[in-house]
Structure 1
Amino acid sequence: MRPETEAELAEMIRTAGGPLHVRGGGTRAIGRPVTGEVLETGGLSGIALYEPGALTLVARAGTPLAEVEAALAAEGQRLPFEPMDHRGLLGTGGEPTVGGMAAANVSGPRRIQAGACRDYMLGVRFVDGTGTVVRNGGRVMKNVTGYDLVKLMAGSWGTLGVLSEVAFKVLPTPESSATLRIAGLAETEAVRVMSEALGSPFEVTGAAHLPVGAEGRGETLLRIEGFSESVAYRAGRLRELFAGREVSVETDAGAVAALWAGIRDVAPFHGAVGDVWRLSCKPSDAPGLVARLSPEAVLYDWGGGLVWALMKAGVDARKLINPLAGHAMLVRAGEASRALLPAFHPEPAPVAALSEGIRRKFDPKGLLNPGLMT
């Protein structure tokens, strides 16, 4: 099924005789496999409103993300949360869509400084499991419209409703960017350096560490963005802050963009054999967590608060991190592992009861992506 209008979408859900596998561009095969008739949102496409002066964009859910980014770039603007492209990591095709990005709350390295996808979502329109069209939020940051269903839909993975339209706040693209590359740091020291940089007044917008980076050594990356003179000044001050270490500065705009696109999309794991886990924890706990996991490969982002781990197939990373306050999500695995291991971290019993109650309210017949998040 591929509706072309919101009314068609509502009718399809209202008259559905069984489970529906809700799908946007088909780029994120994450979660338990869903058995049901495929409902694609790609027909709900197009930018409905773009007001560069108001920093506001409204797009239908099936709009390719590339189309939105191109429209923003033409006006010197961008999505601040730097959404990840999962295709290289998951080996999928298709086109990432606005609705899929919002439903999965997809964000990238800049989240640590700018916030997540949900923080820039101003309003949504969606169809719930009864076929009812729901609208919440608006086109400005300050709206008081009752329950915040905008945030509820972000990260719901199509289990509460099928998005038909999303409104975003956008921001200007910075004039300049640079990346400090610090070579040779061990993981514990790298986390300490990233924390120091993020806690400095120099507005770091990306902090990542590759245990095996350029020339086979550890490489710690710190990104700064803004006006050219400010970037040059802050890069110099950060070099002073880390004097005595092996520091270089990359200022070529294309090279900086490519470097952080690789971090955003977890490029070192593309084509590598094994399951991929996404783990959130306190940065100071990250090296210890990695030691417990003994992964095949690892990438630290968000100053160490986000750890990407490449593990042997079938290993449940959650069983290895429970003693630490962490959160694990299975992002890539074979069909056998996806069927055996839940992708999403189990919720505490009281939270799970609330989540189930919300699902029953929005999707009483259990039509929308049943089992995907369990």
Structure 2
Amino acid sequence: MKPADELELAEMIRAAKGPLRIVGGGTRRIGQMAGGEVLETGGLSGISLYEPGALTLVAGAGTTLAEVEAALAEGGQRLPFEVPDLRGLLGRVGASTIGGVAAANASGPRRIQAGACRDSLIGVRFVDGAGSIIKNGGRVMKNVTGYDLVKLMAGSHGSLGVMSEVAFKVLPRPEAETSLTRDGLTPAEAVTVMSRALGSPFEVTGAAYVAGQVRLRIEGMAGSVAYRLGALTKMLGGGWAVAEAAQSSALWVEVRDVAAFVGQPGAVWRISVKPSAMPQVLGIMADAQTVCDWGGGLIWARVADTGDAQAAALRGYLAQIGGHATLVRASAAVFEQVPAFHPAPTAIAALATGLRAKFDPRSILNPGVME
């Protein structure tokens, strides 16, 4: 099924006799594929509003990310949250859609400075599991009265409703970009350095740790970048190399897309913890290759794709210190015994079940995807 507009989408959902598998570009699905009849959102496409002066873009959920980014680039702007392209990591083909980006709350290295996808999402239209059309938010940033369904839909992976339209706040593209890199640091040293950089007044927009190398990024007006770069280098001491423009951008594409794992075998975890816990988490991941982003708060770990892929040890440790781990890539045998999403605490699980019952009373939208 491929509805051409929102009304047709609502009619299809109301008429559904069983589960529906919601598909945008098919590039961001995590875990086992949901069963049911495929419902594609690609027909709900097109940019309906783009006002560069108001920093606002509205598009159909099936609009490709490439089309959105091209329109913004022409206006000298961009999505603030640096959307990851995980097709290589997950072995997928196809074109990512802007609705899929929102449904996955896909957020890259700039999250530490600009916020996550949900922080830039200012309005949604969607159809719930009963076939009702719902609108929430708008085309400007404002305080929310009542339920903030915009934030709820971001990261729901199609389990609460099928988005038909999304509205985003956008930002100007920076005039300049420069990165500092330093090799040979231990995880503990890396966390200390990244924390100092992020706690400084120099507006660091990227802080990552890859194969013993710390990477720090500064963006903005050329004069401001030059000043902040010098001040940050002085504060952190010597031993730093400088990468500018395209060279700097390439460093962050590698981090954003977890390029180090592309084409490499193994199961892949996406681990969220407080940055100070990063060294300890790396210490319990036996023989893991890691890429750490968000100042240490996001850890990608590639491990052997056997047994439970270290799930018991990892999630058991996170239960003690706080955090969660999502299994984003693994064999069918591993996924049969390990849920992709981190098991939620009892109270949160009950709340999530209640929300799904309210928005999807027949349990037909991507059933089991987030369980």
TM-score, normalisation: structure 1: 0.96
Matches within 5 A, 1:44-55: 44-55=44-55
Residue type matched to 1:52 in 2? P
Shift of 1:46: 0.5
2:37 and 2:168 mapped to 1: Cα distance?
A: 30
Shift of 1:9: 0.6
Classify 1:191/1:5 alpha carbon distance in 2 versus 1 (closer, same or farther; 3 Å).
same
Instruction: Work out whether residues 33 and 338 of structure 1, in 8 Å CA contact, stay in contact via their aligned partners in 2.
Output: no
SS in 2 for 1:322: helix
Instruction: Work out whether residues 118 and 151 of structure 2, in 8 Å CA contact, stay in contact via their aligned partners in 1.
Output: yes
Residue type matched to 1:249 in 2? V
Shift of 1:95: 0.6
Q: Deviations over 1:222-275 (max 9, x none)?
A: 00001101111111112112224x211111x11111211110010001111111
Point out where structure 1 has 5 or more consecutive residues left out of the alignment.
213-217
**In the alignment, what sits opposite 1:328?**
325
Point out where structure 2 has 5 or more consecutive residues left out of the alignment.
none
1:321 and 1:357 mapped to 2: Cα distance?
A: 25
Instruction: Work out whether residues 33 and 339 of structure 1, in 8 Å CA contact, stay in contact via their aligned partners in 2.
Output: no
2:337 is equivalent to residue 340 of structure 1: yes
SS in 2 for 1:294: coil
Matches within 5 A, 1:132-171: 132-171=132-171
Shift of 1:146: 2.3
Q: Deviations over 1:25-67 (max 9, x none)?
A: 0002303321111111011110010001100000000000010
1:280 and 1:221 mapped to 2: Cα distance?
A: 19
2:232 is equivalent to residue 250 of structure 1: no
Q: How many residues align?
A: 366
Q: Name which of 360, 363, 368 aligns with 2:360.
A: 363
Residue type matched to 2:39 in 1? L
Shift of 1:182: 1.0
Shift of 1:367: 0.3
2:234 and 2:119 mapped to 1: Cα distance?
A: 34
RMSD of aligned residue pairs (Cα, Å): 1.1
2:361 and 2:68 mapped to 1: Cα distance?
A: 34
Q: Name which of 227, 232, 235 aligns with 2:221.
A: 227
Classify 1:156/1:295 alpha carbon distance in 2 versus 1 (closer, same or farther; 3 Å).
farther
Shift of 1:320: 4.4
**In the alignment, what sits opposite 2:175?**
175
2:41 and 2:364 mapped to 1: Cα distance?
A: 16
1:143 and 1:5 mapped to 2: Cα distance?
A: 30
1:35 and 1:144 mapped to 2: Cα distance?
A: 36
Shift of 1:283: 1.0
2:5 is equivalent to residue 13 of structure 1: no
Residue type matched to 1:226 in 2? G
**In the alignment, what sits opposite 2:302?**
310
Instruction: Work out whether residues 28 and 104 of structure 2, in 8 Å CA contact, stay in contact via their aligned partners in 1.
Output: no
**In the alignment, what sits opposite 2:56?**
56
Residue type matched to 1:11 in 2? E
**In the alignment, what sits opposite 2:117?**
117
